[in-house]
Structure 1
Amino acid sequence: MNTDLLAALLIGFIGSSHCLVMCGGIAGALQLSMPAQNRARKLQLQLLLSLGRLTTYALFGALVGYFGAGAMQLAGASLLWLRLLAGLLLLMMALYISRLWFGLIRLEQLGQKLWRYVQPLATKLLPLNSATKAYSYGLCWGALPCGLVYSTLGWSLASGSAIQGGLLMLSFGVGTLPAILLTGSAAGVLQKLKNTSWLRYSAAIMLAIYAGYTIWLAIRRLVF
């Protein structure tokens, strides 16, 4: 499980280039919506925003992890089938990170209906002039449609328990934090680093190897 958490962290960090496209504009707009305050206060509100987003990720991960384990037990099937699914999803995410395949982005269409209900609630919280509003908006922000988030949720579904599913999504969310929290030149440097071919391909290869190992273990135990 520790290896899974490290893999989720890596996926969040490398894949957060997509987060900058999806969420970077939102993060910037939210900063502008904060009333004029000192830098420490704005940083506190930014951290609460991200904490709310990570809370939603962890809750969704725990929910689908619990559902996945319960469904397999109800069906009388081995949890190894979920592990096989996890390996296949990891392989898909490796292809996404390497930019050889962008099929995960299509998953974003699945979350549009949910976002239509959440967005009006989030809008009512503006301007973000209190800790409660910042954290609550972050909770809503976690429901923003994102193919990478949904694929990681699929991985949580195959995790085998609510705790593991929640930890996977939390680790993924922590991996996205540098891209979301950094602004200006620092964000530019980080973005340039993550866009370098050697880093993307190295991360994708490591994930692909881990995916292959996960698939092999599941098949070996199912067959033998």
Structure 2
Amino acid sequence: MCGGISAALGLGGAATPATTAAYHCGRLLSYTLLGAAAGTLAATPDVAGWTLALRYLAALLLIAMGLYIGNWWFGLQWLERGGAFLWRPLQRLAAPLLPLRRPREALALGLCWGVMPCGLIYSALALAATRQSTLDGAATMLSFGAGTLPAMLLVSVGATRLQALLRSRGMRRAIALLLIAGGLWSLATTASHSEHLLHAKASQHHH
């Protein structure tokens, strides 16, 4: 989805290297700031008790992300519809920036990117929140953004053959299965941690 929008925004052959770099820097910065905010919020005393719930949510969203990428289930679209309410005001702010001509315009557009209606971004944010740390949350989202760079850069430079490889059914399914496996592993480890906490509380109660 992001690749298609990037192409529509004129990040193909007409964009200069400086504009392309500024856009992606803004995009990664928007992810990092959102991750820092999510990690900070989850670290507050009132929210810290929901850590296990956040871990379960992040694991389920990771599985949903895999199913989404594999074109097997599109449940994440309801998150995207909700996020559209946040994106609409920013669309009005972003409109004067197009078409992108200068690096500062590209940077500003990239900064808006983090709140676009995208279930993949929201899934990564849930994972960042489980870190319960400003720095760790920021690092999680920065890693997520860095992971999207290869595909997004290919769109920017118009590498048609490599884009086709990344969009091929086999590649999408391989990535999807890895995400689903990661989500299942996260569910299993969280369930094990929950059981350990319950045993520890029961032991303290008996003593």
Q: TM-score, normalised by structure 1?
A: 0.75
CA contact (8 A) 2:65 2:119 kept: no
Secondary structure of 1:103's match?
coil
Unaligned runs of at least 5 residues, structure 2: 197-207
Residue 64 of structure 1, CA deviation:
1.5
- Quickly say closer, same or farther: Cα 1:75–1:133, change in 2 above 3 A: closer
Partner AA of 1:26 in structure 2? L
Residue 186 of structure 1, CA deviation:
5.0
Residue 48 of structure 1, CA deviation:
0.3
Residue 184 of structure 1, CA deviation:
8.4
Residue 90 of structure 1, CA deviation:
1.4
CA contact (8 A) 1:19 1:176 kept: no
Size of the aligned set, in residue pairs, is 196
CA RMSD of aligned residues (A): 2.6
Partner AA of 2:53 in structure 1? W
- Quickly say closer, same or farther: Cα 1:27–1:167, change in 2 above 3 A: farther
Q: Deviations over 1:184-223 (max 9, x none)?
A: 8953222321233332222222222222221111111211
Write the distance in 1 (CA, Å) between the matches of 2:62 and 2:123.
9
Secondary structure of 1:142's match?
helix
- Please name the residue that 1:169 is paired with: 141
Identify which range, 47-56 or 211-220, moves more after superposition: 211-220
CA contact (8 A) 1:24 1:180 kept: no
Decide which structure has the larger Cα Rg and report it: 2
Q: Does 1:138 align with 2:138?
A: no
Mapping 1:71-110, distance limit 5 Å: 73-74=45-46, 77=49, 79-110=51-82
Q: Does 1:23 align with 2:16?
A: no
CA contact (8 A) 2:81 2:117 kept: yes
Unaligned runs of at least 5 residues, structure 1: 1-17, 35-41
- Please name the residue that 1:9 is paired with: none
Mapping 1:111-150, distance limit 5 Å: 111-126=83-98, 128-150=100-122
- Aligned-residue identity in percent: 37
